[in-house]
C-alpha cells in the first residue's frame, strides 16, 4: 500500500474527508517511531500539527526537579500540536511513543494558507482540544481527590475489569503513582480475592466489591 493510500484510508476510517481534499493528501508527511522514542520534546519550536495514524503516545511534563508527571495518553485519530498552533508557543510537553507508532504531520503554513475558511476543520480542532482538556483535568482531579484504591478500582471498571500493561512501572506512571504504592494496593485487593494479578494484566474477580470503591465518583 502506498503512502497516499494509507493516508486516504486513515481519512476515510475517521471521517475526516470534509477536512482534507484528495489533492491535499500529498502534503502530509509520515514518520514511524518505535516504542519509547521521543516524538517531540517540551520547549521545541514545532511547525506542524501531529495526527496519530496508528499506535499511540504518552504526554509527560517534567518538573525542575527532573521528576516526570504523566499527563495524558493519545491514540488514533487524536492530535497534538494544536494548542501550540493556536497559542503560537513552543511545545508544552514531551511526547513519547508508547508502542510502534506512525505519525502524520501537516504544516502550520498549510493550515494558515488553506484552512482559514474550513469550518469543519476548526470544529475538529476545537473538539479535540476540548476532549484532551477534559481528559487531563479529570485525571488530575482523580489523582488529587482519590486514594489509590479508588483510582485502581476506577481503572478496572472503565476497562471492563481488565487492565493490561507491559510492566508495573509503566502502569504506575500512567496512574501517576509510585511503583511501591501500586504494588501495595494490588496486594491488598489480591489478598481479599477481589482481583487477580498476572504477569502483564490485572483482572477483577469480584466486580461488586471493586465497583463499591467507585460509587459516587
Q: Do 56 and 74 contact (CB within 8 A), yes or no?
A: yes
95 plus 176 within the same structural domain: no
Question: How high is the pLDDT of residue 210?
Answer: 93
Burial degree of 13 (CB within 10 A; 0-12, 13-18, 19+):
exposed
Q: Which of 144, 170, 197 represents a domain boundary (last residue)? A: 144
Range of the domain at 43: 3-144
Question: How high is the pLDDT of residue 64?
Answer: 62
8 plus 76 within the same structural domain: yes
pLDDT along the chain (217 residues), means of 10: 90 89 90 95 94 93 69 89 90 92 95 88 88 74 70 91 92 83 93 94 95 79
30 plus 120 within the same structural domain: yes
CA 70-74-79 angle, 5° bins: 120
23 found inside a domain: yes
Question: How high is the pLDDT of residue 130?
Answer: 87
CA dist., res. 202 & res. 191, Å (int): 14
CA dist., res. 152 & res. 163, Å (int): 9
Containing 16, the helix (H) or strand (E) segment is none
50 plus 138 within the same structural domain: yes
Question: How high is the pLDDT of residue 145?
Answer: 52
CA 57-61-62 angle, 5° bins: 125
CA dist., res. 49 & res. 51, Å (int): 7
Contacts of 115 (CB under 8 A, 6+ apart): 121, 122
Count structural domains, the chain. Answer: 2
Amino acid at each position: 500500500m502506498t503512502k497516499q493510500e494509507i493516508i486516504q484510508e486513515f481519512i476515510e476510517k475517521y471521517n475526516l474527508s470534509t477536512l482534507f481534499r484528495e489533492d491535499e493528501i500529498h502534503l502530509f508527511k509520515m514518520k514511524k517511531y518505535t516504542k519509547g522514542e521521543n516524538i517531540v520534546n517540551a520547549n521545541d519550536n514545532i511547525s506542524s500539527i501531529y495526527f496519530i495514524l496508528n499506535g499511540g503516545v504518552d504526554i509527560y511534563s517534567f518538573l525542575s526537579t527532573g521528576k516526570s508527571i504523566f499527563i495524558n495518553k493519545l491514540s488514533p485519530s487524536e492530535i497534538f500540536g494544536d494548542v501550540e498552533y493556536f497559542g503560537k508557543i513552543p511545545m508544552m510537553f514531551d511526547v513519547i511513543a508508547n508502542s510502534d507508532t506512525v505519525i502524520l504531520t501537516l504544516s502550520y503554513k498549510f493550515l494558515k494558507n488553506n484552512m482559514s475558511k474550513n469550518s469543519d476543520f476548526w470544529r475538529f480542532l476545537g473538539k479535540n482540544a476540548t476532549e484532551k482538556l477534559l481528559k487531563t483535568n479529570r485525571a488530575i482531579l482523580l489523582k488529587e481527590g482519590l486514594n489509590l484504591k479508588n483510582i485502581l478500582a476506577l481503572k478496572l471498571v472503565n476497562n471492563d475489569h481488565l487492565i493490561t500493561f507491559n510492566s508495573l512501572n509503566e502502569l504506575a506512571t500512567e496512574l501517576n503513582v509510585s511503583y511501591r504504592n501500586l504494588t501495595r494496593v494490588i496486594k491488598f485487593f489480591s489478598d481479599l480475592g477481589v482481583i487477580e494479578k498476572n504477569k502483564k494484566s490485572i483482572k477483577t474477580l469480584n466486580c461488586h466489591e471493586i465497583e463499591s470503591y467507585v460509587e459516587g465518583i
